[in-house]
Structure 1
Amino acid sequence: MNLPSHVDVCVVGGGQSALALGYYLRRAERERQRRGHPPLSVVLLDRRDGPGGAWLDAWPSLRLFSPAGYSSLPGRLMPTPADGTAPDAAHVVAYLADYEQRYDLDVRRPVVVEDLVGAEDGRGPTEVRTDHGHVQARAVVNATGTWDRPFWPRLPGIEQFAGRQLHTHDYRGPDAFAGKRVLVVGGGNSGAQIAADLLGTAQAVHWVTREPPRYLPDDVDGRVLFEVATRAVRARAAGEQAEGVGSLGDIVVVPPVRAARDRGELHADPLPERLTRHGATWSDGHSVDLDVVVWATGFRPALGHLRGLDLPRRRGVPVTVAPEGATSEMRSADGSPLWFLGYGDWCGAASATLIGVGRPAKEVAADVVAHLDSPG
C-alpha cells in the first residue's frame, strides 16, 4: 500500500469519530477553495481491514441505546432498521461504510500507526510512522478510541484461576458459554448486558459489581443522555454548576436487561474477595465454582503510538486545552499540532458516542484549519 509522503492532516483512526471529523474537514476544504486556498490533503489511517471501527467486534445482540434518528453522525441520518427497533451493530457498520463512501473520505487500511515523531521546534510537521511507511503531517488528530486498550483490574487470585478469562473486548455472544458457569465482573452497561445475554445459555451466571448497580429510569435512553450532556456542557461554558449523565445512573435499561431484571434473573452480588483455581470466594465464606470470568471493566484511551512524544499528562492522559470559543478541550497543551477526538468527557462531552461526536468534531476541524491557515 502506498501512503502519501506529505499531507495537511493525518487522522489516526477510521471509526465514527474519524469519519465525523472527515466530514467537517471536507466542508472546510470547500469553503477554503472558495476563498482561493489550495485543496486540503487529508488521510485517515485505520488499522482494520474494513469500515466500521469497534462496531465490527460487537456481539450480535448488542443494540444502540437510541433509535436510528438519534444515533447519527453529522450530515447523514442513520436509516431506521426494517423492523423499527434500535439499530444493532451490523446496522451501524453498514451505516459507517456508506458514510465514508458518501463523503469520499480517504481512508487507508489496514495501516497500523506505530509511532509519532514531533518536529524539533514543537511546531513543524509531525512524522507519522506506520507499518506501510512514514507520512509527514502538518496536523495530526488522534481518533483511536478506547476499544483497543481494555482495562484488566487486579483481583487476588487472578493468576491462579485455571478457567478461561476474557474481556468485553473479546466477547462475541453467548454460544461459546453453553453449559458453563460464568462470573461477569462490572457494574456498567456492558456488565449488565453481557450478564443478561448469557442467561438461558450458560449453566450459571454470577454478576458481581463493586457498588450496587444504578439503573437509569426505564424511559431514559440515548436521546435523554445526549440532552443532559449537552445542557451540562452549556452550563459549564457559562461558568455554572451542572450535573452530567452520571447523576442519572450507570446502566441504560435496554429491553434485554429490563426483561431479565423484571423476571428477577438479573441481580448483582458484591465483588468476591479472591479468585481460586476453580472459582471465587467471598469474605463471608461462601464460594462458587466457575469455568469462565468475563471482565466487563471498561477501557482506556488507546494512545500507545504517542509514547515517544513525552507529552505532559494528567490522570493518565495527555493534557489538553480548549481553543478560544470551543467547548471541548481537544488540543495538546504543549502547543504541538496535535489534537484528540472521541475519548469521552476528557476531550468533549459524549464524544465517544455517534450522536455526541458531532460538536467536538466540528470544533477540532475548525481549530485544525485555523492552525493550517495561520501565518508561518
Structure 2
Amino acid sequence: MDADVLVVGAGPAGLAVAACLLRRGVEPLVVDRGEGVGDSWARRYERLHLHTPRIQSALPGLPIPRSFGRWVAKDDMAEYLRRYAAHAGVVPRFGTEVRRLERTGDSWTAVTADDGKIRVRQVVVASGYNCTPVEPAWPGQEGFEGFGGEVLHASRYSSPVPFRGRDVLVVGAGNTGAEIAADLAESGAGRVWLSVRTPPNVVPRSLGPVPITLMSITMEHSPAWLVDPVNRFLQRRVLGDLTRYGLPAAHAGVVAQARATGVTPTIDVGLVQELKAGRVTPVAAVERFDGDAVVLADGERLTPSAVIAATGYTTGLQPVLGHLGVLDGQGRPRVNGRRPAAPGLRFVGLSNPLKGLLFQINLDARAVARDVAKELRPDR
C-alpha cells in the first residue's frame, strides 16, 4: 500500500479531512491537480467574499482570524487555507490528477493522469462541488464571436474593468451570475442584462445582525410547508417585490426548491439595489445567437459586446467514478459525508447545503476521520 488513506483534493474539504485524520494518528496521502494550497481561491473574481460569516466558515482546529472581517474576502480565504495546511501539518502532493478509481479486493487503486497507480485502503473524494466549468455552447455562438462578440464562462471573469462602457449579458441568476451582474453595473459597464432561465429565490445576506445562513441551520431538516411561508414573508418584507423590476418569481420556496433541484437561494450582495436602480435588467433565457445578436426564448434580440455565462459547474467525477454506480444522473455523489458510498469510499464537500458548504465540511470532516480511523485501527 502507498498509504492507508488517499484524499483526493487539497481544497477546504481535503485539508479538513486530512487534518482530522492526522489528529487521530492516520497519515493520509493528499493529492491535487493544482499547483498550491489556496490557488483556486486566489484565482476567483476580485469582488468575491464568503456568503457565510467567519464564525460559520472555519475548518476544524483553527479559527479564521478576526482581522479577516465578518465576510472573508477570497484572497484572505486563500491565505487562511495556507495557514491551515501549515498548522495541521498537511503537505499535499500537487500536480497529481486522479483519472480513475478502481476497487481491487479490499483496497483501492487510483490511476493518475501520468498513468501512475496509487494503492490505498480507503479513499475520501474531496475534489469540490464546483470542480469543472460547464462551458456554454449555444447555436450560432461561433458566428457571434466572429462578429467580435466575446463569450466567456464566469470562471474566467476576474474584474469589471475590461467591461467598462460595454453592454454585457450575464447568463444565470444564481449567486455567481447575480454578483457579477451587480459588479458590472456598479463599476461602469454599459447596459447590463441578466438572463434568467430558472427564477431564483433571492434572500438578504443578513436579517439585522443575524446572517441568513445561520438561520438556515434550523431549516435544513424542517418541512418546506412550515418554513417556506416564513421565508416568503421575509423575502418580501426585506427585499420587496422583485417582480416589479422584471425578475420572475421563483416557482417554489427556498427549502422546497433546494430539496427538489439542489439549487440554493441567491444571496443578495448588491443585485437588488441594481435592479431597483434600473442598472440591471432581467431578460428571458438565451436560445441562440444570430450574427451579432443574442436571441432570447421570448423572441427578444439583444446586441451585447460580451456574454458572461454563469452556467455552473460539474463535479467532474463521471470519468473517475461513473463505472461504480455511486453517482447520480448529474454526476454528483449519491451519498455525502459520513456514510460510505462503497466500502472504503467516502465523499466530503460535494453537497450544496442551505447552511453553507464550509460549515458542512467542518461537520463531515470530523465524522469521516473518526469513522475511517476506527475502521483502520479497530483495536484502538
Query: Normalized against structure 2, the TM-score is what?
Result: 0.79
Q: CA deviation at 1:338?
A: 1.3
Residues 93 and 266 of structure 1, relative CA distance in 2, 3 Å threshold: same
Which one-letter code corresponds to 2:350 in the other structure?
Y
Count of aligned positions: 343
Residue by residue over 1:76-116, the C-alpha shift from the partner in whole angstroms, topping out at 9 and shown as x without a partner, is 1111346x452210000000000010010131113222322
Q: CA deviation at 1:329?
A: 6.3
CA contact (8 A) 1:226 1:356 kept: no
Tell me which residue corresponds to 2:112: 129
Tell me which residue corresponds to 1:197: 183
Tell me which residue corresponds to 2:2: 6
1:362 aligns with 2:362: no
Tell me which residue corresponds to 1:146: 129
Query: Counterpart of 1:216 in 2: which secondary structure?
Result: strand
1:372 aligns with 2:379: no
Q: CA deviation at 1:167?
A: 1.1
Instruction: Report which stretch shifted further, 10-19 or 102-111.
Output: 102-111
CA contact (8 A) 1:52 1:93 kept: yes
Higher helix fraction: Structure 1 or Structure 2? 2
Match runs of 1:1-376 below 5 Å: 6-29=2-25, 40-52=26-38, 54-81=40-67, 84=69, 86-119=71-104, 121=105, 123-131=106-114, 133-152=116-135, 155-162=138-145, 163-199=149-185, 200-217=187-204, 219-220=206-207, 223-229=211-217, 231-233=219-221, 246=255, 250-254=265-269, 256-282=270-296, 285-304=299-318, 306-307=320-321, 309-317=323-331, 320-321=334-335, 328=337, 330-332=339-341, 335-345=342-352, 349=353, 353-374=357-378
* In 1: Cα distance, 2:91 partner to 2:210 partner: 30
Residue by residue over 1:2-50, the C-alpha shift from the partner in whole angstroms, topping out at 9 and shown as x without a partner, is xxx6101110100001111122212222xxxxxxxxxx23111122211
Query: Counterpart of 2:346 in 1: which secondary structure?
Result: strand
Which one-letter code corresponds to 2:100 in the other structure?
D
CA contact (8 A) 1:183 1:205 kept: yes
Tell me which residue corresponds to 2:261: none
* In 2: Cα distance, 1:157 partner to 1:102 partner: 51
Residues 357 and 53 of structure 1, relative CA distance in 2, 3 Å threshold: farther
* In 1: Cα distance, 2:369 partner to 2:174 partner: 32
Query: Counterpart of 2:71 in 1: which secondary structure?
Result: coil
CA RMSD in angstroms comes to 3.1
CA contact (8 A) 2:335 2:347 kept: no
Query: Counterpart of 1:192 in 2: which secondary structure?
Result: helix
CA contact (8 A) 2:141 2:289 kept: yes
Instruction: Report which stretch shifted further, 272-281 or 218-227.
Output: 218-227
Residues 144 and 242 of structure 1, relative CA distance in 2, 3 Å threshold: farther
Tell me which residue corresponds to 1:33: none
Q: CA deviation at 1:197?
A: 1.0
Residues 132 and 78 of structure 1, relative CA distance in 2, 3 Å threshold: farther
Identity of aligned residues (%): 29
* In 1: Cα distance, 2:124 partner to 2:138 partner: 36
Residues 321 and 58 of structure 1, relative CA distance in 2, 3 Å threshold: closer
* In 2: Cα distance, 1:217 partner to 1:352 partner: 15
CA contact (8 A) 2:52 2:356 kept: no
Q: CA deviation at 1:245?
A: 5.2
Residue by residue over 1:250-306, the C-alpha shift from the partner in whole angstroms, topping out at 9 and shown as x without a partner, is 21112x335424433233112144322212124555422122211112112121551
Q: CA deviation at 1:353?
A: 2.1
* In 1: Cα distance, 2:143 partner to 2:324 partner: 36
Query: Counterpart of 1:77 in 2: which secondary structure?
Result: coil
Query: Normalized against structure 1, the TM-score is what?
Result: 0.80
Tell me which residue corresponds to 1:34: none
Note the residue ranges of structure 1 that are not aligned, 5 or more in a row.
30-39, 323-327
Which one-letter code corresponds to 2:314 in the other structure?
R
Residue by residue over 1:228-256, the C-alpha shift from the partner in whole angstroms, topping out at 9 and shown as x without a partner, is 245524x58xxx998795459721112x3
Residue by residue over 1:320-369, the C-alpha shift from the partner in whole angstroms, topping out at 9 and shown as x without a partner, is 457xxxxx46522xx33211110114xxx458722221111222222322
* In 1: Cα distance, 2:157 partner to 2:347 partner: 28
CA contact (8 A) 2:316 2:331 kept: no
Tell me which residue corresponds to 2:232: none
Query: Counterpart of 1:63 in 2: which secondary structure?
Result: coil
